[in-house]
Amino acid sequence: MNDRLRFFGVDSDARLHARARGCARMLLLLTILFLAGVAGCGKGPSIKSIKLTGEGANRTPDEARLLFVNDAEPVILVLDVGNIYAPVSLETTWKYMPRQSIVFESEDELKESGTHRIRLNRKAGESELGDYRIDISLNGVPVSVAYFTITGELSVQPSYEEIRKLYEDKYGKITQPAITEDATLSDFAIAASVYGLTQAPKEITSEFEPDAPVIYLTMFLSSAPEGTKVRVDWYYLGKLGKEERLIIPAELETSGTRQLAFNMKPGVGDLPVGMYEARVSLNGEEVERVPFSVMAPPNGGNAGSEP
């Protein structure tokens, strides 16, 4: 009887050990899957693309537009948002630029990546004519901007690029967000000066004289992890834009969400007349080229020397 009990006892212990080993393997597998899931969620939410469109009867659905007439057609902001693994707050503020007044605000909770649309509904003839700016934020952090214009009746619709060029002349370089992993760069602008505390552009322009003391390139950095590298290479392209001479390279290692300002400080009167370009790279990948030019002074003074 005791032998049978010992036999069954030994057999029961073996089964218990086998089950324990099986449970341990299952726990290890679940731990690996959990850690893999956490690693996959490491990237923060980001705006991958921005587009403005409408619902005109004679227009292609989702046609990119920047110009709208003063009618009842809604203005629709189309955003492609990625890396959403937990609920994210998407906020937009729509401003009428001439008076810097807020005309519309929205806040939506996003639970998954994908395309999201925000509508500004209008009544015919009741919109103020002029430029509008949309500030876009994720979880309260500004990530990008978009511009559009409401105008009177048009017999001919200017092209997207023609209108975009007008905005660049007014507000500096306007781009889609440039995205490399978690970090994004947007709101590129060439300026003659910046605000000291915020480093935001103060005198936005694309034309300088040879005796310009400093030229700034500003941009907005969002969601950058530690060790993010932003590089700006300043190029002289010659009077006809056919040359390519690197003047000054500059690189900054940074992180977080903040305004950045790079500058080029030539000697007095040392900027030659011609075309220039600031080329921006994010973590080794070129994401934007911002052009500007140096014009001969109106009084025929020093036109600068070749770099």
pLDDT of residue 12: 45
What is the CATH class of 179-294?
A: mainly beta
CA dist., res. 223 & res. 45, Å (int): 9
Q: What is the pLDDT of residues 45-95, one digit of tens each?
A: 778 778 888 876 455 556 777 888 888 889 999 888 887 888 899 999 999
Q: Are 146 and 133 in contact (CB under 8 A)?
A: yes
Above 50 in pLDDT, residue 7?
A: no
| 179-294 has the same fold as 46-171 | yes
Nearest to 44 by CA among 91, 89, 107, 108: 89
Q: What is the pLDDT of residues 92-147, one digit of tens each?
A: 999 998 888 999 999 999 998 888 999 999 888 888 998 899 999 888 888 888 88
Q: Residue 10 — pLDDT band, cuts 50, 70, 90?
A: very low
Nearest to 149 by CA among 132, 135, 164: 132
Nearest to 52 by CA among 140, 131, 142: 131
Q: Residue 159 — pLDDT band, cuts 50, 70, 90?
A: low
Under 8 Å CB-to-CB from 16, ≥6 apart: which residues? none
Domain ranges of the chain: 46-171, 179-294
Pairing of strands 274-282, 285-294: antiparallel
Above 80 in pLDDT, residue 182?
A: no
Could you give the angle at the alpha carbon of 305 between the alpha carbons of 299 and 306, nearest 5°? Answer: 135
CATH 3.40.50.970 fits 46-171, yes or no: no
User: Higher-confidence residue: 197 or 24?
Assistant: 197
